[in-house]
Amino acid sequence: MFAITDPLNVEVLSTRLAASTRSVVVVEVAEEVASTNEVLRQRAMQDMLHGRVLLAESQTQGKGRLGRVWHTPKGKNLALTLAWSCDPDPRSLAGISLAVGAAVAESLEKVFGVDMQLKWPNDMYLDGRKCGGVLVETLTDGQQRSLVLIGVGLNIMPVDTEVDQPVADLSSHVGRDVPRNNVAACVIEALVDLLQAWEAGGFSAWRERWQARDLLRDVAVTISGGQTLTGVGCGVDDTGALLLRTAEGIEPVFAGDASVRKEQRV
């Protein structure tokens, strides 16, 4: 039985960050918030938040895509948001939520040895079960820079809360208690490295790395949310759009919810 892991702690977490990362981020830990993204969104109206990282021991109204609830019970999971100044042109951020997933997956694999898969557009999976997700939001003042809020949620410990799909957690997969401060450091390092290089390469530098973990590759899927479309996943393009092989040919899908139609690959 896994116990509640170490409390999130700014001092402990900072010792696990590289000096180059510590120089560009300010880390805070809150006991309980409605949503880490929402807190930083409200504060962005008054403060310059570039490099601000907010973690929470628990979230009461954490969000995933399409308004779904992301459960973060106290002391068991990871919920964090990083605020970062960026180019105000929305096209400059195309594919960034996919790149975040790939960067986090690579970092966790390096430190904990886990083989994480990615489900378009922003879910992280272990052994076919969801273990995390990414929520990216942008704020702009109409001037020269915007602010991107990158929220990452990860299941670290088993939880009893009922959800609408099978879930996985990092500790059970690794086979031991996983310190959340270590996981948080992995995620923060991955995000900072990604964002510092983003303007030079964008998603094109991450496309193949994301596709190497593509859970929908050669799988029959249905896209819902607006127009319904069925086909076979065949990767993503340079904007992060899902490429779906249909009877009419290859169709790019820019938004929607992907569900697997059958288990076998085709």
What's the CATH class of domain 219-265? mainly beta
Distance CA 147, CA 83 (A): 6
- 182 sits in which H/E element: helix 180-201
Distance CA 195, CA 197 (A): 5
Sign of CA dihedral 33, 34, 39, 42: negative
The residue ranges of every structural domain in the chain are 10-211, 219-265
pLDDT digits (tens, 9 = 90+) for 222-243: 998 777 889 999 999 999 999 9
Identify the pLDDT of residue 55: 97
Minimum mean pLDDT range among 15-24, 95-104, 108-117, 247-256: 247-256
What is the rounded average pLDDT of the residues 35-54? 91
- Which pTM does this prediction carry? 0.91
Identify the pLDDT of residue 266: 46
The percent of residues in the chain predicted with pLDDT above 90, rounded, is 71
Identify the pLDDT of residue 141: 64
pLDDT digits (tens, 9 = 90+) for 155-213: 999 876 656 678 999 999 999 889 999 999 999 999 999 999 999 999 999 999 999 99
Fold of 10-211: BirA Bifunctional Protein; domain 2 (3.30.930)
